[in-house]
Amino acid sequence: MAKVTIIGATGQVGSYVAHAVSQFPHVQEMCLFGRVGNEKYLDGLAHDMMDSFAARGTNTRVSFGTNEKELRGSDIIVLTSGVPRKADQTRLDLALENAKIVKQYAEMVGRMAPDSILIVITNPVDIMTSVALKYSGMMPHRVFGLGTHLDSMRLKACLAEFFNVHVSEVHTRIIGEHGDSMVPMWSATTIGGIQIDNLLGAAKVPREEMIERVKNSGTYIIQSKGSTVYGPGDAIATLIKTIVEDENRMLTVSTQIRWDIVGQEGICISVPTRVTRGGVFPIAVWMADDEVKAFSNSVEVIKDVLKKVYSILDKK
């Protein structure tokens, strides 16, 4: 049984995740957490959720609060607080503004629930995950970000549509930055268990077009309806289910790696990762030469921004 706390529950992604996750029987308590001054809203949200759970027949307890003590006893904490990306902004533009918010909450989680698993959603998510890990003081296997999990799901959907198969027949991964430098791992892409290059239709797959579609998917949705909610929300819910039910899945999320390609100081970036009830454990894999090159570029993009962010955060 688990207590799941959503920091940023007043936001669109946070409130959707709270609702989506409550359907899992292992989630015994849901804590809706927000900033001071929002108590009335959180109270209303909690009551609305309780009505929903009663109608659904879900037995999840709901609590809410703005005091850091509410975080105690959490098994999983999802951090969605932050300013959302505007249509004309890159995720990296957001870094400085959101890093200050993430630092403050990471320190709080480190004080109140250091043994929980902290999942970072705030963008730019790879930078924010490194910030959360550093300032929470938590163990690296207890802090991770949504990373390219959603991007991988988006590519999966494109390939399922192209090959006209059920999405469960497609296995693929996008690694690297959740952003423009993301790297599709075609070497790890299979359709019905068959490596994509061994399929007769492989040459016709519009790979560049598909990756562009994945990269621009968030912007497209933001331009159309203002924000992305259900895609990230259900991707996060899947991660929580994987943890609370100890499903031991291999997903592509942003975790700290200290491989040669990154350097000993380590950064958080998406690679195939074992996700368990005990935490997350990145898995070293073979990559094709062009994938290594593109992944190294992604590492540099993240390192560059992270350096600037740390230089400002550490001043205070």
**Catalytically annotated residues:** 178
Residue 127 to residue 177: CA distance in whole angstroms? 9
Q: How far is CA 127 from CA 99, 197, 220, 254, 255, in A?
A: 8, 34, 23, 10, 11
Does residue 125 bind ligand NAP (CB under 6 A)? yes
- Six-digit token string for 283: 């898995």
Instruction: Tell me which stretch binds ligand NAP (CB under 6 A): 80-88, 107-115, 161-169, 285-293.
Output: 80-88
Which residue of the chain is nearest ligand NAP when measured via CB? 11
Residue number with CB closer to ligand NAP (40 or 204): 40
Contact 270, 188 (CB under 8 A): no
In the complex, what is the shortest distance from the CB of residue 237 to ligand NAP, in angstroms, rounded to a whole number?
13
In the complex, what is the shortest distance from the CB of residue 94 to ligand NAP, in angstroms, rounded to a whole number?
7
The C-alpha angle 239, 143, 123, rounded to 5 degrees, equals 75
Contact 79, 7 (CB under 8 A): yes
Mention every residue, 6+ apart, whose C-beta is less than 8 A from residue 13.
80, 121, 227, 228, 229, 232, 233, 236
Residue 205 to residue 208: CA distance in whole angstroms? 9
Residue 8 to residue 146: CA distance in whole angstroms? 15
Residue 167 to residue 73: CA distance in whole angstroms? 37
Q: Where are the beta strands (DSSP E) in the chain?
A: 2-7, 27-33, 61-65, 76-79, 117-120, 143-145, 170-171, 174-175, 183-184, 190-191, 194-195, 249-257, 267-276, 279-282
Does residue 140 bind ligand NAP (CB under 6 A)? no
Instruction: Tell me which stretch binds ligand NAP (CB under 6 A): 62-70, 82-90, 160-168, 182-190.
Output: 82-90
Does residue 130 bind ligand NAP (CB under 6 A)? no
Which residue in 49, 95, 99, 101 binds ligand NAP (CB under 6 A)? Answer: 101
In the complex, what is the shortest distance from the CB of residue 106 to ligand NAP, in angstroms, rounded to a whole number?
12
Which residue in 5, 22, 116, 123 binds ligand NAP (CB under 6 A)? Answer: 123
Strands 194-195 and 190-191: antiparallel
Which residue in 73, 84, 140, 266 binds ligand NAP (CB under 6 A)? Answer: 84
Task: Please list every residue from 52 through 71 that binds ligand NAP, using CB under 6 A.
Answer: none
Task: Please list every residue from 236 through 295 that binds ligand NAP, using CB under 6 A.
Answer: none
Contact 288, 188 (CB under 8 A): no
Which residue in 47, 48, 83, 139 binds ligand NAP (CB under 6 A)? Answer: 83
Residue number with CB closer to ligand NAP (2 or 153): 153
Instruction: Tell me which stretch binds ligand NAP (CB under 6 A): 58-66, 81-89, 135-143, 290-298.
Output: 81-89
Residue number with CB closer to ligand NAP (226 or 263): 226
- Provide the mask over 12-31, with x wherever binding to ligand NAP is found by CB under 6 A and - wherever it is not: xxx-----------------
Residue 284 to residue 153: CA distance in whole angstroms? 21
- Applying CB under 6 A, which residues contact ligand NAP? 8, 10-14, 34-35, 38, 80-85, 98, 101, 121-123, 125, 146, 150, 178, 227-228, 232
